[in-house]
Amino acid sequence: VSEGYRLPLERYVCAFVAEAPLPHPHSRVEYPLLARNLTCTRPALQSLPLLDPLTIAVLFSCLDAENVVQAMSFLLTEQRVVLYSEHKARLAAAAEGLLGLLFPFCWQHIYIPVLPRKLLEYAQAPVPFLMGIDTNCLARVEIVNALPSSAVVDLDNNNVISPMEDTPVGNQGDGAVPGLPAAIRKVVERRLRAIAPPPRTLDGGEPSAAGDDAESADSEVMMRGDGVGEGA
């Protein structure tokens, strides 16, 4: 029971989530919850979605522009996509970054940023999904072999494996999933390279200077998560 309150904290959270109305588009509302005020902001209907810049920083610290665009094309064509990393915070941040880049489209399928070990069988679902799996659950080779119809995005090595084939994207085979049209793809990649930081690693090479940024971003994500837990 929360200090000074007769009801368990979970009751307040449940009431806030289930009963508090959403703010109108392009507005901001503060809700009192226990000893603090929670601010909810909703962007205008035609504006960019609310997205933490940290998620974009983590995403581009792990993948170069070409692989980011390839991962986006898998999502836009409603494929099964598995994000893979030894850092759980990196999985969640990169997943949020990818979904934010889909605007004005919205991912309507299964979304599990960090899949628990006991739910690994969910990755066999014959439906589109975006899931994150860390190295404590499965090794990279095991993921590729166990999920041949899924695209595997290796966030730790800046690598993307196409579904239906164990070859990096770009070596188009019979089972390769078509991506964005070449002309559009080149424009998107060029613009992303102009504004995005370099990836953490390049084709198995030594970590770049952005590697420290990725680790710092991971730490900041974890610290934010700890802060939320303590505040609750």
**Where residue 87 sits, what CATH number does that domain have?**
3.40.50.11500
Contact status, residue 150 vs residue 170, Cβ threshold 8 Å: no
Q: What is the pLDDT of residues 94-137, one digit of tens each?
A: 999 999 888 888 899 999 999 888 888 888 888 999 999 988 77
Q: What is the pLDDT of residues 21-39, one digit of tens each?
A: 778 888 888 877 667 887 8
Q: Is 98 within the bounds of a domain?
A: yes
Residue (of 145, 140, 149) closest to 81 by Cα position? 149
Residues 34 and 121 in one domain: no
Amino acid at 114: V
Q: Is 117 within the bounds of a domain?
A: yes
Distance, CA of 214 to CA of 55 (rounded, Å):
10
Please give the model's pTM, rounded to 2 decimal places: 0.65
Residues 66 and 132 in one domain: yes
Residues 36 and 126 in one domain: no
Residues 124 and 95 in one domain: yes
In the prediction, which pLDDT does 113 show? 92
Token pair belonging to 111: 């979304």
Residue (of 72, 96, 47) closest to 224 by Cα position? 96
Residues 88 and 130 in one domain: yes
In the prediction, which pLDDT does 71 show? 92
Residues 97 and 66 in one domain: yes
Q: Is 122 within the bounds of a domain?
A: yes
In the prediction, which pLDDT does 228 show? 34
Q: Is 91 within the bounds of a domain?
A: yes
Q: Is 179 within the bounds of a domain?
A: yes
Q: Is 221 within the bounds of a domain?
A: no
In the prediction, which pLDDT does 138 show? 73
In the prediction, which pLDDT does 41 show? 79
In the prediction, which pLDDT does 188 show? 87
Residues 58 and 36 in one domain: no
Residues 74 and 121 in one domain: yes
Q: Is 47 within the bounds of a domain?
A: no
Q: How many domains does the chain have?
A: 2
In the prediction, which pLDDT does 46 show? 72
Distance, CA of 55 to CA of 226 (rounded, Å):
17
Taking 50 as the pLDDT cut, the residues of the chain under it are 1-2, 165-174, 201-213, 221-232
Q: Is 33 within the bounds of a domain?
A: yes
Distance, CA of 197 to CA of 215 (rounded, Å):
14
Residues 58 and 113 in one domain: yes
Please report, for residues 39, 42, 106, 153, the alpha-carbon distance to residue 169 in angstroms, rounded to integers and kept in the order given.
42, 37, 24, 10
Domain span at residue 62?
Answer: 53-195
Residues 187 and 98 in one domain: yes
Task: Check residue 208 and report its DSSP letter.
Answer: -
In the prediction, which pLDDT does 1 show? 41
Residues 57 and 36 in one domain: no
In the prediction, which pLDDT does 32 show? 76
Residues 82 and 14 in one domain: no
